[in-house]
Structure 1
Amino acid sequence: MVKVVIFDDEILVLDAVQDLIDWARWELTLVGTATNGIDALELIEDHQPDIILTDIRMPGLDGLTLIEKISKIVPSTYCIIMSGFNEIEYYKKAIQLDVIDYLEKPITIERIENCLDKAMKKIQANNELKDLKQKWHDSQSLITAKKVIDILNQDMLTEDQWYEVVGMKASEITGVTVGVCQPNGSFDIEKALMSSRKILDIKTLLVTEGKKTIIIWIQSGDKNQLSDFLAGLTELNVLIGIGATYRHPKDIRRSYVEAQDALKMGGFVKETGIIAFNELDFNHRLSDTLTTLERSIIFSIRSANSESISTLVEKFLNDIKHNNLSPDVMKQECLRLIYLGLEVVKETGVEYTWKKDNYIPHVELEKLNSLDAIEKWLKCHFMEMLDWMKVLRSKQKHISVQKACAYIDKNFSKDISLEEVASIVQMNPSYFSILFKEEVGLTYIKYITKIRIEKAKVMLKEGKSVAEVSEEVGYFNHRYFSELFKKMTGLTPGQFKKQPSSTFII
């Protein structure tokens, strides 16, 4: 819809132009008229018209001044002047303002229609140029997306392929991380991740493949920047699976595969937010040949998610049934799954014992003669494992996490990983990660960040410089520390330091 407005202080002129022009013929919509410059400006701000027909001399604001303001508010608008004055200065000013035409009153309908035809041709040409630019941009985006997807699916990535897509040399990069999500229609993932593009040391690429969006973060500075950025994404209404960060671009496929696994498995932990592959620790002490369904069952045991076990066991047995496996092979697969579950239970560091004395799973399984009986047997054993883990976790959780927090508090300035802290409390990293989140209410990374910022507050109030504090709490990129501090507190370190001590609350 092309919108038109008319401005003239003579009511007769306004009525004549409104009534005598066949607006439908030109596919135009008259959205308003005004008899003075002030009302005219308000109409322009409200309707953002495409074509304006205006008199020069009007009360409140003259037509030429109005056109100057229009060029700032709606620069794409085309203006036509209607005036009873033929002064040379008006003509010169109109030419400078790049108006479509200068019509001297009395004006014929034919002349107005010729001007409208000229304006419509310009609008059409401008729209065609926009469409052409958009098509070019879309085609470039598709080409880039294809190249990105190609490098994600290649086992052998060359330096030239990487540089062509990213525009950075491998030697300039400190880390590459891949994320995967399936956005819903009500959520703008690009808008949510826009702030990561403003961080100078992180380059962000977004591409779409089918229903999923792939995010690639390429870091060239402090490796903590991305983890802290992700920890700050607290208002996501989609789930994003994140692969591990790798130093060399050749490992980007590995991070991509991990991100996909994290997305698939993360739904068992939460519906929205960030779920990192390292938190799930899929491969710890488990076979690399596990299917996605087997991984799902094992992760449900790790997270003590009894609600999902029954459904997953049913699906596992249905898959076996559809493959037409013999009873012997079927039992072997079920027994393998039980022993994989036992491996997960061992991650607690406490020996698991069956409820029945001298119980041998494969002997009991051999006695079963139907799929229903096997299903019941599997569910019963997994529920028994989960109940045992829940009781154990309630005993282990407080003391282990308390010890971990004490260690973090003492070593917060160092680059301490989840694996290092887990080893201090003698736990499997994935198991410890779950206990830590349950007890503290924060992920390991978010907790470290919180501690560092709290320590930084104290040091700033003690009179230390921002640079000193940044390094003493573990951030060697001073600018990044300042950005993170402001994000967490609402103030820059300098502003916080100047606050009166009475307002300082840790």
Structure 2
Amino acid sequence: MLKAVVFDDEYIVLQGLRELIDWSSFGIELIGTADNGLSALELFRVHRPQLIFTDIRMPGMDGLQLIEVIMREAPETLCIVFSGFNEFEYVKQAINLGVADYLEKPITVPTIEKAIRKVMDKISRQREVQELKTKVSNSHRELLEKATLDLLFIGGEAEEKWRQIYGAASENLVGVTVLATESDRLQISEHTDYTVIPLRHGQERLLVCVHTQQPTPEFWGQLLLESEQADISVGSGRTYAELREAALSYKEALRALRSAHFLGEKGIVRFEDLGELITRPEGLSEREEGIILSLRSGNKAGMLDQIDRFIAWIQKEKLDAEVAEHEMLKLLYLALEEAKKAAGDKVGHIPEAYRPHVEFREMAAGGKITEWFRSQLDMIVGSTMEAREHSRHVSVTRARNYMEQNYTRDVTLQEVAAHVGMNPSYFSVLFKEEVGESYIKYVTRKRMELAKMLLSRGLKVNDVSEKVGYHTYRHFSEVFKKYTGCTPGQYKDQLSNTLGI
């Protein structure tokens, strides 16, 4: 039911409209009346009715002032005004304010009922138009989603149809980036620099960003912050200038997401940051790749899980003994090679004359091959841990020193990782292990605390934004509000009030 209120300073008018009009027959609930403008405004703000019947002349605040406030706060509200004889100037002002109808006093039941029917017809037409717009919008969105999926799976052949559905604005696009996750919790706000097309494909949740400007550091920083706050993993493909290459970005996004799972990383993992972490030795299957990637990243729990999957696959497929031996030994030697790359001459716990192929057949004959295979990989990953711990502490200490010197500019994860000679994604994992929070949260916290100190010293918000490394005031303000719960300007005002300035 629609909600309605009646405002008039004449008791007889209020009483008559309450008792003589069958409001429910029109699908309306009369929720209240008021005899002065101030009470009327309070009643409106509490109940937010869709229909208002009001006299023009009232004490406290007249009907025109009241309508002006209401139309400013809720422009969709429909107002019907009562006017006396010779009040044409007031009526003209009311019409200019956007009232739906006006009635001359004295008010009668037939005139009120006629006005109600007229306004209900107007509401009905508005709803029909809105429903039509919604249907058209939903239909267009569904067409765009299907065309975008075709773009990801077919590529160039689907581009022309996609552009037709997207519209003339497609001519202004300069790039496309695909993000992949497994959760609906990631929400990217719309922006003038890009449009986000959300898609579902099986268990995959995809966000296809089409850009009118190349992605900025603020774009990646905001995306990283939001994905970490949502506590989810997100894989990002590279940004391609040609729409037909969206399919490449999609494949990269999926691979980056898989890598994020292997790394145990929450937040966004960019394909271009993975580097050698995803360099697949020739002939390596995805199962084997998962084990090697977990070893490279030091994710022991992830590696053991991948080993169990690998063993389950061998058992399920009932592989020939020689084939199983070949697969297991290949993986052991690859793992040993990766351990030596990671730890150099610091590899411990592994005998210099380690020859797993000699032990393999002995274990197989005793029926202990599964336990032995798991223990060998566990030994190999364990041998790299000490070297990894040392490397982590030294590298993160160097990184933090570098960051301390560069907070006043936009120093990225990629730049810091390059400074300490590490792959960005691998460095991100090590940093979180050592510091206890992610790189972006650490940097944001340091910058926001510095910003609060500078604001307390009386610096202007724009100056503070630059001094803590943000390119735009808007981005700084958004991050500051998420961190403190208020905008930089509000924070300054609170400080002034506290200090009595």
Normalising by structure 1, what TM-score?
A: 0.74
CA distance in 1, matches of 2:208, 2:332: 36
Aligned partner letter, 1:152: L
CA distance in 1, matches of 2:171, 2:365: 60
Aligned partner letter, 2:232: L
More helix by share: 2
Aligned residue number for residue 355 of structure 2:
360
Q: How many residues align?
A: 467
Say whether the 8 Å CA contact 2:100–2:119 is kept in structure 1.
Answer: no
Could you tell me the percent identity over the aligned residues? 32
Pairwise mapping of residues 294-305 of structure 1 onto structure 2 (< 5 A)?
294-305=288-299
Aligned residue number for residue 494 of structure 2:
none
Pairwise mapping of residues 394-413 of structure 1 onto structure 2 (< 5 A)?
394-401=389-396
Residues 257-302 of structure 1, C-alpha deviation per residue, up to 9 Å, x if partnerless?
2222222342344574222334444764423665554443333323
Aligned residue number for residue 456 of structure 2:
none
Q: Does 1:259 align with 2:253?
A: yes
Q: Does 1:206 align with 2:215?
A: no
CA distance in 1, matches of 2:276, 2:390: 25
SS at structure 1 position matched to 2:298 = coil
Aligned partner letter, 2:198: V
CA distance in 1, matches of 2:214, 2:382: 45
CA distance in 2, matches of 1:389, 1:337: 17
Aligned partner letter, 1:363: V
Aligned partner letter, 2:234: G
SS at structure 1 position matched to 2:22 = coil
CA distance in 1, matches of 2:107, 2:158: 73
Deviates more, 1:411-420 or 1:72-81: 411-420
Aligned residue number for residue 339 of structure 2:
345
Structure 1 alignment gaps of length 5 or more: 455-465, 493-506
Displacement of 1:133 after TM fit? 0.9
Aligned partner letter, 1:359: Y
Aligned residue number for residue 381 of structure 2:
386
Displacement of 1:180 after TM fit? 1.8
Residues 397-439 of structure 1, C-alpha deviation per residue, up to 9 Å, x if partnerless?
3445556778899999999998898788676676555445545
Distance 1:486 1:295, change over 3 A: same
Aligned residue number for residue 332 of structure 1:
326
Say whether the 8 Å CA contact 1:4–1:31 is kept in structure 2.
Answer: yes
Deviates more, 1:407-416 or 1:285-294: 407-416
Say whether the 8 Å CA contact 1:206–1:215 is kept in structure 2.
Answer: yes
SS at structure 2 position matched to 1:183 = coil
CA distance in 1, matches of 2:276, 2:233: 17
Say whether the 8 Å CA contact 2:240–2:246 is kept in structure 1.
Answer: no
Say whether the 8 Å CA contact 2:91–2:102 is kept in structure 1.
Answer: no
Aligned residue number for residue 150 of structure 2:
150
Say whether the 8 Å CA contact 2:147–2:158 is kept in structure 1.
Answer: no
Aligned residue number for residue 137 of structure 2:
137
CA distance in 1, matches of 2:99, 2:305: 70
Displacement of 1:237 after TM fit? 1.1
Displacement of 1:51 after TM fit? 1.4
Distance 1:486 1:430, change over 3 A: closer
Distance 1:137 1:369, change over 3 A: same
Distance 1:272 1:14, change over 3 A: farther
Distance 1:24 1:106, change over 3 A: closer
Distance 1:346 1:408, change over 3 A: farther
Aligned residue number for residue 61 of structure 1:
61
Pairwise mapping of residues 82-481 of structure 1 onto structure 2 (< 5 A)?
82=82, 85-87=84-86, 89=88, 92-93=92-93, 95-96=95-96, 97-108=98-109, 110-156=110-156, 160=160, 165=166, 167=169, 173=174, 176-184=176-184, 187=185, 189-190=186-187, 193-194=188-189, 197-198=191-192, 202-210=193-201, 212-216=205-209, 218=211, 220-221=213-214, 224-233=217-226, 236-249=229-242, 250-270=244-264, 272-281=266-275, 284-287=278-281, 290-348=284-342, 350=344, 352=347, 355-356=350-351, 358-369=353-364, 373-401=368-396, 431=426, 434-436=429-431, 438-439=433-434, 480=471
* CA RMSD across the alignment: 4.6
Residues 157-184 of structure 1, C-alpha deviation per residue, up to 9 Å, x if partnerless?
68756755584569x73x6432222334
Residues 447-502 of structure 1, C-alpha deviation per residue, up to 9 Å, x if partnerless?
99999999xxxxxxxxxxx99xx9xx9x9xxx94666677788999xxxxxxxxxx
Say whether the 8 Å CA contact 1:7–1:53 is kept in structure 2.
Answer: yes
CA distance in 1, matches of 2:104, 2:327: 88
Distance 1:144 1:11, change over 3 A: same
Aligned partner letter, 1:266: A
CA distance in 2, matches of 1:158, 1:432: 38
Displacement of 1:2 after TM fit? 0.9
CA distance in 2, matches of 1:343, 1:278: 24
Say whether the 8 Å CA contact 1:242–1:262 is kept in structure 2.
Answer: yes
